[in-house]
Homo-oligomer: A and B are copies of this chain.
Amino acid sequence: MDRPGRLTGDHSTRSAWVADDLRRQLEDGVWPPGTRLPGEVRLAETYGVSRATIRTALRSLESRGLTATRHGSGTYATGAGSGIHADLRHLDSMTATIRRVGAVPSMSYRRRELVPADAEQARHLGLAEGDRVLVTERELRADDTTVAFSYDVLSGTVLPDDLAPATIEGSLYELLMTVGVDVAWATAEVHAAAGERIGWGDRPADAVYVLLDQVHRTIDGHAVAWSRTYYLEGRFRFSLVRTR
């Protein structure tokens, strides 16, 4: 087995290298769904790493739903990997999510405005009513098909004073990145929604939406954005592997 001296190829760590090799073998059908992988001690010998490193790699596969592990029995291939589209557990920009499912993302803004926060916006972002916020309304497309409408509110405290709202393009996270804000985590609520008030332009009259209501935060818990994204039912698949 070819083992990296310090760092070989594009893998920075041994566990990432092991995980990637196992992932490739799982996808190639070396272990069909339901079959048991070699034990951890055996894998450690095979790859020439410690058992802890193997366990790190296996946890990574399990978190992506490719394997399931049971105490005293073994680690099994699930064969579920390819079916996962938008993983709800992992926080990503919408454009990155669309790109990851193999489509070309695009978007157009209907509204980009600096306004005083109303009571609800202030509550979500931990601001005082009347504080400056950036309000945007966007249509998101994957391969030129509308997949979602997003209503976003960015806290003015993280935005530069000379921001020109009309020049804003692209992803919300990209904008935040350019002003030095790193979104580390978000609390999300999943809802269903329907009605005339949602979205604009060409869309089914009886459209039903999956609503992702999220507050995005920096590592220190500071709320920087509140987003409500309405995904047109049927045009986007939210999948996840749930384990006990």
Contacts of A186 in B (CB 8 A): 241-242
The minimal Cβ–Cβ distance linking A241 to chain B, given in whole angstroms, is 6
- Give the Cβ gap from A173 to chain B, nearest Cβ, in Å: 10
Is B222 touching A34 in the complex (CB atoms < 8 A)? yes
B208/A194 in contact, CB under 8 A: yes
Contact A244 B192 (CB under 8 A): no
Q: Is the CB of A91 within 8 A of B187?
A: no
Q: Is the CB of A242 within 8 A of B208?
A: no
Minimum Cβ distance to chain B for residue A74 (Å): 8
Task: Out of B76, B90, B222, B234, name the residue touching A244 (CB < 8 Å).
Answer: B90
**With an 8 A cutoff between CB atoms, is A190 at the interface?**
yes
Pick the contact of A239: B34, B79, B188, B219 (CB < 8 A): B188
In the complex, the answer to whether B91 meets A243 with C-beta atoms within 8 Å is yes
**Given the known A-B contacts A192-B193, A193-B192, are A244 and B91 also in contact in the complex, defined by CB atoms under 8 Å?**
yes
Stretch from A14-22, A42-50, A65-73, A115-123 that touches the partner: A65-73
Residue from B65, B188, B208, B242 in contact with A192 in the complex, judged by beta carbons closer than 8 Å? B208
| Complex contact B243–A188 (CB within 8 A) | no
Can you name the residue of chain B whose Cβ is closest to the Cβ of A84? Answer: B187
Q: How far is the CA of A237 from the CA of B213 in the complex (A)?
A: 11
The docked-state distance in angstroms from the alpha carbon of A32 to that of B208 is 39
Sampled A-B contacts (20; CB under 8 Å): A33-B221, A36-B220, A68-B184, A68-B219, A78-B185, A79-B221, A80-B187, A184-B244, A185-B244, A186-B241, A188-B241, A188-B242, A189-B238, A189-B239, A190-B210, A190-B240, A191-B210, A192-B193, A192-B209, A193-B233
